[in-house]
Structure 1
Amino acid sequence: MIVWVNGTFGAGKTSACRELVELLPGSLLYDPELVGQGLCRVLPADRMAPVSDFQDLPSWRRLVPEVAAALLAEVPGPLVVPMTLLREDYRDEIFGALAARGLAVHHFVLDPAETILHERIAARDECPGDPEGSERVRSWCREHLPQYRLARRWLARDARLVDTGGLTPGQTAERLAELIKDGTARCPIVQSADSTGDTVAAAVLLFDGQGRVLLVDPVYKPSWEFPGGVVERGEAPTDAAQREVAEELGLRLETSSLRLLAVDWEPRTGPRRGGLRLMYDGGQLDTAALAALRLPPEELRGWRLVTPEEAAALLPPGRLRRLKAALSAREHGELRYLEAGVPTAVG
């Protein structure tokens, strides 16, 4: 289990987490900042030069869940993680990777009033004996308050906000321990922990009257997706496509309305599984059907109709190539075979 304690700089995360590990038997304090510091020392200067925050390193976002899983193989847990995480796409990436490893996450945000934050920042002395150094740290904390105000909009629906304005670190830890026990801050992302083999997945392209395609925004990954999912053992891909569209959108499609457009072999990349990806044409939805769509909030944050040009800003390169190939197949009435999104001649 992961107890992720979020909040802006100066909110008191580290102090509260040090107290919290004393209340949770078997727990361990895990600070992902140490991962970032290690990367800053190891990576070459030309790679680090354009990076102002190690969270912007893909390697950091990949290693944080890897190290968490490795630590929980050594200790009973839970891991208590004091880490500011204000970008929603980074949260999706990291928490999705933790869920893929079967690790439950309890997500908290320490949220005192901004006046109290300013008081706490003013009282910080990060560099004893170096007044100028301490003031640089305080200025840095104050400069990041606007970023927290913006992030609070999505944090309020994603995490359990805890007003710590009148609490000591010890009292904050006691409050967090109570909330962990009742489970109200547990992140709803659930994925299979079995990531050993490649998969077959079925996706459905749905269109409006303008020819725009429907994409969905998963809570467990940083980029947008097509409606669909992994084919279960013993399940036909077309059945999986129907099932996933029903589960994700509340939309019932007949088998006769689905037409296979493309089959793409996706290579494994890092912890992400590869395998065959089937793209179906699910047809056009009218205004009433679009208005009736219902998404499971624990899986999908929203949906959007986009042109191919707009999809380029939402989909990763391989998925975008798959979409373009499927749209071409739909236009020409042909089935396309792809490898890593690139059309390949067969026969």
Structure 2
Amino acid sequence: MIVWLNGTFGAGKTTAAQELLDLLPGSTLYDPELLGQGLRMMLPAKRLEEIDDLQDLPAWRRLVVDTAAALLTEVPGPLVAPMTLLRQEYRDEIFGALAARRIPVRHFLLDAEETILRERIAHREETAADWASAAQVRRWGLDALTSYAEALSWLKDDAYVVDTGRLTPRRAAEEIAEAVRSGTADCGIVQTPEPTAETLAAGVLLFDDADRVLLVDPTYKPGWEFPGGIVEHGEPPTQAGLREVVEELALRLPRTPRLLVLDWEAPEPPGFGGLRLLFDGGRLTDEQTRGLRLPGAELREWRFVTESEAEHLLPPVRFRRLRWALRARERGCPMLLERGVPAGG
């Protein structure tokens, strides 16, 4: 298990984490910040200049998961991770990958009023680090308050909130420990096993009367997605698509969907790639749309979007697949893709 203590600079994550080690038997401090420091030392300066934050590095996000899994083979757990995580897509990627490793997450938001946070940041004693002076750290902490305020809308829905403005570090740790023991802070994420070989996946495109396509927002991976999932052993792909639409949207389609594209996705470590099929599930009636229901542990939202809107929501590989699927739908003829482009084209 990982007890993730989220919150901005000055929220009391580090002090609460130290107190928590006394309250959770077998617990170990896990500081993902150290992984960032290691990457900073090893990566070329040119690569570091391309990012604003070390969390923007895919390598950092992957290392957070891999290191946690490795640590839990050496210590009984839980791991206590005091780490600010304000981008929801990074939360999805990291927590989803941990869930795939069967590592449960207890997500806590340590929060305080902005006036309290500003006072703590202004009076914090810092020793100069190798990458910034104490004054720069304080400036960074004050600047981060804007990003924190913007993230609160999803953070307070996702995490168990502990008000550190009214609690001592010990009392905050006691409240966290009690929530861990009672399971009230469980971060329910669907546990999708990591693939060990190439996979076959089936997605279904659903449309409204304006021909906008329906996308869903998974809790367990970054970016939006089409309704669908992995085809199970011995399962016909069309039936897999129909099954996933029922499981994800509580929607039963009246007919077998028509194939739009078959796309070969190249293996890119840590992914294994495989075949991806997109089917045309047709237009939904107003009654069908009103009846859509999401599984909370797996999907947080759905919406109909135009092709241009989809480009800003889907990862590039999925948007390329959607773009050609829409062309295939217009032409009434399925297409064979490789790496998201027509084969041989």
Q: TM-score, normalised by structure 2?
A: 0.93
| Distance (Å, rounded) in 2 between the aligned partners of 1:90 and 1:302 | 17
Match of 1:299 in 2: 298
Q: 1:95-106 maps to which residues of 2 (within 5 A)?
A: 95-106=95-106
State the Cα deviation string for residues 65-120 of structure 1 (Å, max 9, x = none): 11111111222211110000111111111111111211111000111222322332
Identity of aligned residues (%): 61
- Secondary structure (helix, strand or coil) at the match of 2:189 reads coil
| Distance (Å, rounded) in 2 between the aligned partners of 1:86 and 1:38 | 21
Structure 1 residue 19, shift from structure 2 partner? 1.6
- Secondary structure (helix, strand or coil) at the match of 1:170 reads helix
8 A Cα contact 1:69 1:101, kept in partner: yes
Number of residues of Structure 1 aligned to a counterpart in Structure 2:
342
| Distance (Å, rounded) in 1 between the aligned partners of 2:273 and 2:133 | 48
Match of 1:174 in 2: 174
| Distance (Å, rounded) in 2 between the aligned partners of 1:30 and 1:48 | 24
| Distance (Å, rounded) in 1 between the aligned partners of 2:225 and 2:16 | 37
State the Cα deviation string for residues 132-170 of structure 1 (Å, max 9, x = none): 943432232122112211111100111111112232222
1:266 corresponds to which letter in structure 2?
Answer: E
Match of 2:269 in 1: 270
Structure 1 stretch 4-13 or stretch 194-203: which is displaced more?
194-203
Match of 2:248 in 1: 248
Match of 1:207 in 2: 207
Match of 1:30 in 2: 30
Structure 1 residue 289, shift from structure 2 partner? 2.0
Q: 1:187-226 maps to which residues of 2 (within 5 A)?
A: 187-226=187-226
Structure 1 stretch 324-333 or stretch 180-189: which is displaced more?
324-333
8 A Cα contact 1:216 1:300, kept in partner: yes
Instruction: Say if 2:70 is the partner of 1:88.
Output: no
| Distance (Å, rounded) in 1 between the aligned partners of 2:37 and 2:267 | 28
Match of 1:124 in 2: 124
| Distance (Å, rounded) in 1 between the aligned partners of 2:312 and 2:213 | 14
8 A Cα contact 2:238 2:256, kept in partner: no
Structure 1 residue 280, shift from structure 2 partner? 0.8
Q: Which runs of 5+ in 1 are unaligned?
A: none
8 A Cα contact 1:215 1:303, kept in partner: yes
State the Cα deviation string for residues 275-301 of structure 1 (Å, max 9, x = none): 221111100112232222111222112
8 A Cα contact 2:203 2:227, kept in partner: yes
Structure 1 residue 344, shift from structure 2 partner? 1.8
Let me know the Cα RMSD of the aligned residues.
1.9
| Distance (Å, rounded) in 2 between the aligned partners of 1:211 and 1:42 | 48
Structure 1 stretch 272-281 or stretch 13-22: which is displaced more?
272-281
Match of 1:56 in 2: 56
8 A Cα contact 2:249 2:293, kept in partner: yes
- Secondary structure (helix, strand or coil) at the match of 2:313 reads coil
| Distance (Å, rounded) in 2 between the aligned partners of 1:248 and 1:101 | 22
1:52 corresponds to which letter in structure 2?
Answer: D
| Distance (Å, rounded) in 2 between the aligned partners of 1:187 and 1:5 | 12
| Distance (Å, rounded) in 2 between the aligned partners of 1:219 and 1:46 | 33
